[in-house]
Structure 1
Amino acid sequence: MRKRSGGRVVSGAVLEEGRGGREKLRGGGGSYDSVQKEKEQLFVDDVVRKKKKKLWIMIGVGVVLVIILIIAVAVVVSKKNSGDDDEEGLSGGKPSGLGTISPDTIPPGSPPWLNPFVWADTTDFNVTYTNQMVGDLPVMGLFSEWDDSKAANDRVPALNKPWGDYSKRPARGVNIGGWLSLEPFITPSLFEYDRRMGIIDEGTLCAYLAHRCEGILEKHYATFVTEQTFKEIAAAGLDHVRIPFSYWAVEKYDGDPFLYRTSWRYLLRSIEWCRKYGLRVNLDLHGLPGSQNGWNHSGRQGPISWLNGTDGAVNAKRSLEVHDRLSKFFAQPRYENVISHYGLANEPKMIFLNVPDILDWTISAHKIVRGNGVKDAVVVFGDGFRGLTNWQGELQGLDNAALDVHQYVIFNNGLVTLNHTGKIRYACDAWTQQTLESMNRGTGFGPTLVAEWSQADTDCARHLTNVGWGNRWTGTYVSGDALTEAISPKCPLKDRRCDCAPANADPKEWSDSYKKFLRMFAEAQMVSFEKGWGWFYWVWDTESAPQWSYKKGLAAGILPAKPWERQFDCTGPIPEFPDLPESY
């Protein structure tokens, strides 16, 4: 540009510079013809220069456009690598914790579970690339060293010491529910959609979100449960953690809408955090291929296609394959001290499914788990809601196995109507009797643990009975099943005074009477379930529904600060609580 501006192209300027015949022109001499030829030549030169100028301008514009395109592609790639592909997902930018790791160390085409540059959170993950697999499952994210010397509290042994007999030292644990297996009532904010859209479970949620499912769910994984969670659990005097997760952490099949394998690394990291605080782990496969119960927490609400229907056998086989891979992975030496329980199937609906088929499947699953090297963990299988005494004499050939029962009063039309005094009495008497009978091989299976229970005395929590459904408490539960639905109020008053507002209120608004009941009800259950192999409260935390949250219960004073610091042990009198709406 400087060169072109030094030789101005206007004719007068050129003539003044003496171009062509400057000697004659400057001397005042020279003919007309020579001047005319000079002008013609200047005209031709001017046209050529203009064409060249246009060409250079076009080239310049092209270069600028290429630069802009390169910048735009770089921004898109950067956002993609940071996991920020939509406004509902995680904030953009390089994940923290990558340190000096270069993206060039990740081989091109690596799947996202092997590329920390697309992870939402890298805290306490080993981000050094490895494609090593165990049981065809990635170890990416794990460190090669671990320490099992920590004890959850001074009343239990360190992880590297034997726990002993669970009948003498029962587990006192809690579930991390609604995290790696979504449950609408635990995190209702993830299900804030028009009911007509039919978003009722994790499957329909991911089907609707499509590519956005990854960003939204990983944000949930990274924030709903953190290291602080396990620190608080240990501080509360608990010693075990049950971690529900679903089969898509391992595998995904044609037509599945679920987010594949992202939850896997969060499961592995949560186990390491449990290790750090001396907490033993109960692995809980909460959702199986085809759904083992048709309930939303299995990922698919609706028909059961596990050991049932056209694809029943296929999904049963797939479930065994999932356990084959899981048990090979968790048979590694790093897990022999921290994983105390290995769950086969959460809440198989045996009141609907063929019982002999499930018993055969359980035997096969147990054989796979033990055969792959999981030697010491208690293998856990669900009671299937068929009644504990019906398990007497069954599956006696399974070594170190335990029956898993879930005890609630609110999912039964007869029990939910009990008043507060009646619910405490039922926990002290009926559940204690059931536990003792189940623990006795002469009247039940034998080893029995209660892997789910809560303080909830109503089914009023939002989405508890499915997204958009009613509840038994107010008589608005229309399930389509005459045996389970409640179309008239089932609170103890059984009339229009049955109201969910008090139960769903902030704990600060609860009456002293209600708080007293909730604590006695919790402690009564602890006493009863410790007659067996222990208990796991459902759940550690919720967005709302404080009667279901151990964390919120501690803050409200409706749970003991430590589970052994109980004020009620079922031996003293039970107060007669008033049956008034305000007491709830």
Structure 2
Amino acid sequence: MVGNLPIVGLNSTWDDSKQANPNVPALNKPWGSYRNNPIRAVNLGGWFSLEPFITPSLFDYDPSLGIVDEYTLCSYLGPKKAAAVLEKHYATFLTEQDFIDIAAAGLSHVRIPFSYWSVTTYSGDPYVLGVSWHYLLRAIEWARKHGLRVNLDLHAVPGSQNGWNHSGRSGFINWIIGNDGPANAKRSLDIHNQLSIFFAQKRYRNIIAFYGLVNEPGTTIPQSELAAWTVSAIKIVSDNGFAGTITFSEALRGLPAWQGELQGYGNSLVIDVHEYVIFDPNLLVFEHSKKVSFVCSIFESQIQASMNTATGFGPTMVGEWSQADTDCAQWLNGIGNGARWAGNFSGKTTPSCPTGNSQCSCALSNQPVTSFSSEFKTFLLSFAEAQMSAYESGWGWFYWTWKTESAPLWSYQAGLQGGFMPPVAYERSWSCSGSMPSFGSLPEFY
């Protein structure tokens, strides 16, 4: 046990001589400057922190049962069956072949979301304790074997930091704020104490490049209280000897909100922003070409401003983005919540696609990849390359996510297989400095 966490299954020796691709150093060599050699990477979402839209098969129950997140799933299944169902998922959803394919795609890092019940549970928790921990450790060893550096992402903390299904339990925030918020904030610090002791081991020095404190805290948490918690967490992780870079979320506030905050850490602390154009109806209505130009102008300028401590926080990475240009993927907004695009999200009636009428159907957006037109693939490729170009003006990017069961515009793997993702991430045909490609007669409601 290290940090009261088991090392069972780990070899006593390891090999850090591998490099993910010819453009990046081997694990046992210094990376150098992320400003000059940016991250090109993917998330392994939906593996150790479930999301219904990534793996809808795990949530295929009668809606009347109210199974909408990992909490309600485990509550319904009960301890023994939940453990069997989830272990089968952990063992099969991603395999070593995925790490081979990720490296072959010219990517250099993986961000691995995991939940607090990998480490511990509390009274009343239905979650499966500890099983995912063993698979997390195996995932890190697969990454090592293929030269991929790791960004650890604590995706769900006690009490839920945002009330969304990917935090484990939908509903309300009970972390920092809420009746049990202070206690759950303290529990999260205790978890980081365990994790940082474990990952400060010599065997992880070359491979755990980034250590994420908490994913996407909700905007109702006062920023001053979130910043104070972050300072406490940074101290714990640093004092325990973790030698990599710590990441903190911009917490859905926008990068400018953190200008002048949490200073004095240099390159040992990086802000993580998630860039999507589909959850804001004001951006969702943009036509295809405008979505691309928005990324190249607004998102890129925001990243550049954030990188400068005179105008922003400083070191900045994009921890999540996708090619999705609608919010139509099944259960993306939560089970039973509909889509803004079609005008049936949470009681809304006005569609938020560019035509704003009955043409705004999710039927076209949810077609199988084999039905994608060449014009649509050209758009998707351009949209991806625009984002890659823009986000590399900071420390780089992590695509969300590597694999889904049935949401191809959220799957880097599907993009490669379908021909709408560059085959090699660092060899691209277009960037924001080029002229806008033509998308032919692509309908704007597509």
Establish whether residue 314 from structure 1 lines up as the match of residue 314 from structure 2: no
| Aligned ranges 1:126-145 → 2 under 5 Å | 133-145=1-13
Aligned counterparts of 1:309 and 1:560: Cα–Cα separation in 2: 45
Aligned to 1:553: 415
1:575 is displaced (CA, Å) by 3.8
TM-score (norm. length: structure 2):
0.98
Aligned to 1:258: 127
Aligned to 2:227: 359
1:578 is displaced (CA, Å) by 6.3
Letter in 2 for 1:468: G
Contact persistence 2:344–2:351 (CA under 8 A):
yes
1:397 is displaced (CA, Å) by 2.6
Residue aligned with 1:308, SS: coil
Letter in 1 for 2:22: D
Question: Which of 146, 156, 163 matches 1:294?
Answer: 163
Aligned counterparts of 2:331 and 2:90: Cα–Cα separation in 1: 20
1:385 is displaced (CA, Å) by 1.3
TM-superposition CA deviations, 1:227-263 (whole Å, max 9, x none): 1110110011100000000000001000001000000
Letter in 2 for 1:341: F
TM-superposition CA deviations, 1:353-396 (whole Å, max 9, x none): 11111000000000000000102x11000001112112111000
Contact persistence 1:513–1:583 (CA under 8 A):
no
Letter in 2 for 1:301: S
Aligned counterparts of 1:325 and 1:451: Cα–Cα separation in 2: 24
The count of corresponding residues between Structure 1 and Structure 2 is 444
Residue aligned with 2:360, SS: coil
Aligned counterparts of 2:433 and 2:112: Cα–Cα separation in 1: 33
Aligned to 1:495: 357
Residue aligned with 1:415, SS: helix
Contact persistence 2:355–2:444 (CA under 8 A):
no
Unaligned runs of 5+ in 2: none
Residues 367/137 of structure 1: CA separation in 2 closer, same or farther (3 Å cut): same
Aligned counterparts of 2:228 and 2:444: Cα–Cα separation in 1: 50
Identity %, equivalent residues: 57
Contact persistence 2:287–2:444 (CA under 8 A):
no
1:186 is displaced (CA, Å) by 0.2
Aligned counterparts of 2:86 and 2:441: Cα–Cα separation in 1: 42
Aligned counterparts of 1:355 and 1:431: Cα–Cα separation in 2: 22
| Aligned ranges 1:115-514 → 2 under 5 Å | 133-210=1-78, 211-349=80-218, 351-375=219-243, 377-399=244-266, 400-478=268-346, 486-514=348-376
User: Which has the higher relative contact order, 1 or 2, with Cα contacts under 8 A spaced 6 or more apart?
Assistant: 2
1:310 is displaced (CA, Å) by 1.0
1:398 is displaced (CA, Å) by 2.9
Contact persistence 1:280–1:340 (CA under 8 A):
yes
TM-superposition CA deviations, 1:262-303 (whole Å, max 9, x none): 000000000000000000000000000000000000001001
Contact persistence 1:363–1:398 (CA under 8 A):
no
Unaligned runs of 5+ in 1: 1-132, 480-485
TM-superposition CA deviations, 1:416-437 (whole Å, max 9, x none): 1101001000111111100001
Residue aligned with 2:406, SS: coil
Residue aligned with 2:71, SS: helix
Contact persistence 1:492–1:579 (CA under 8 A):
no
Aligned counterparts of 1:499 and 1:384: Cα–Cα separation in 2: 31
Structure with the greater alpha carbon radius of gyration: 1
Contact persistence 2:355–2:445 (CA under 8 A):
no
TM-superposition CA deviations, 1:120-172 (whole Å, max 9, x none): xxxxxxxxxxxxx0000001111101000000011100000000111111111
Aligned counterparts of 2:415 and 2:26: Cα–Cα separation in 1: 27
1:577 is displaced (CA, Å) by 3.9
